[in-house]
Amino acid sequence: MKFCKKCLLPETYPKMKLNSAGYCNVCIEYERKFGDFDFEKSESELRKILEKETAKNNKLIVTCSGGIDSSYVLYLCKTKYKLNIIGANFDHGFQSETAKQNLSNLSKILNIGITTVKPDYRILYRLYRDFLLRTGDFCTPCCQGCCRSGFVVGDNNNIQTIIHGGVSGSRVEFNVLGMYKHHYERFMKVVGNDYSFEELQDIVTPTDEIKRFNLISLPQYLNWDVRKIMRILSKEVNWKAMSNGRIWHVDCMIADAADHFLQRKFGFSRHWMSISANLRAGFISIEEARTMLNDQEEGVREEPKEAIDALLKKTGLERKEINELPFFNSEPAIKFLP
């Protein structure tokens, strides 16, 4: 198996191609887009956008999960940019206690009101079940719901501007080449015929409805170094990672199951994707990346029994049903990393 010389993505990554020098098309495009990125100019542009949106709306919406990216967005909006904000949170049915405590700390320390959108769990757990059985992953309903919370809270407060911590389009984008397909059209293609509009109204947002809102991604404009961010949040708002040390997807108590399934499906997990993104951006060295990959990907290979048991209990699935799915037949790429 071959790996990109720059970011270490394996050649099994969908749509990834290596040139004759051993560099992937993601890194080549990254250099073209961000090679001479001017952070000072970018942040100046962000401030102008925020001033414009603040002039239209006295308050702005910030979607938040208790995870590291959205927590930092809340922190920056309140302390650096002095915005009047309302937090919008989605209760996806598997919120970790760590995320709940992070949100509580952010709300109290920064004096931010956070509204939680809570869908019908029966519908949500059915969606997780259907997506897992039909696609080999269960994250799409949650991703749709997290976005939906911002639109719901925005509509309830007559606010059309939503700020978020999604890293798509930024220097640390990990879902490169559109590997993850969590968008509305894919959601409806997989399960749309099996659910009524009423059942999905707190979970998904049609594309035409999204166009009514102005969406602002802070990571697209700022230097998004997750290790520096964690130090700041830990010091200022007592932000915590998971007890096992996981800093990504802190909001989800079954994220380890999602990573395990992803590795079985593609040969790598979201850890690998995130490490590659941070390596590409220059936030970690290739030696650090190799060490992190060996530590984390080997751990992902082991079945996270507690997380999978929680998923099975809520979705009514049997372990046999998961093991018989046709998606999980990839060799772990970490076995071949030189």
Q: What is the mean pLDDT of residues 296-317?
A: 95
Judge whether residue 43 has pLDDT over 90: yes
Q: What is the DSSP string of 102-150?
A: HHHHHHHHHT-EEEEE---HHHHHHHHHHHHHHHS---HHHHHHHHHHH
Judge whether residue 180 has pLDDT over 80: no
Q: What is the mean pLDDT of residues 30-53?
A: 95
Supply 54's token pair.
């603040």
Q: What angle do CA 194, 196, 202 make, to 5 degrees?
A: 115
Check: CB of residue 27 under 8 Å from CB of residue 10.
no
Output the pLDDT for position 150.
98
* pLDDT tens-place string over residues 61-106: 999 999 999 999 999 999 999 999 999 999 999 999 999 999 999 9
Q: What is the pTM of this model?
A: 0.96
Q: What is the mean pLDDT of residues 17-39?
A: 95
Q: What angle do CA 40, 61, 94 make, to 5 degrees?
A: 110
* pLDDT tens-place string over residues 221-251: 999 999 999 999 999 999 999 998 889 899 9
* Cα of 41 vs its chain's centroid, Å: 26
**What are the sequence ranges of the domains in the chain?**
39-220, 254-338
Q: What is the mean pLDDT of residues 173-183?
A: 86
In the chain, which ranges are E strands?
60-63, 85-90, 113-117, 161-164, 214-217
Q: What is the DSSP string of 295-324?
A: HHHHHHHS--HHHHHHHHHHHT--HHHHHT
Supply 11's token pair.
């050649």
Output the pLDDT for position 179.
79
Query: Which is nearest to 147 in space by CA: 90, 217, 191?
Result: 90
Judge whether residue 177 has pLDDT over 90: no
Fold for the domain defined by 39-220: Rossmann fold (3.40.50)
Task: Name the one residue in this structure whose structure tokens are 């990907």.
Answer: 297
* Strand-pair category, 161-164 with 214-217: parallel
What are the φ/ψ torsions at residue 285 (nearest 5 degrees)? Answer: -85, 165
* pLDDT tens-place string over residues 187-234: 999 999 999 999 999 999 999 999 999 999 999 999 999 999 999 999
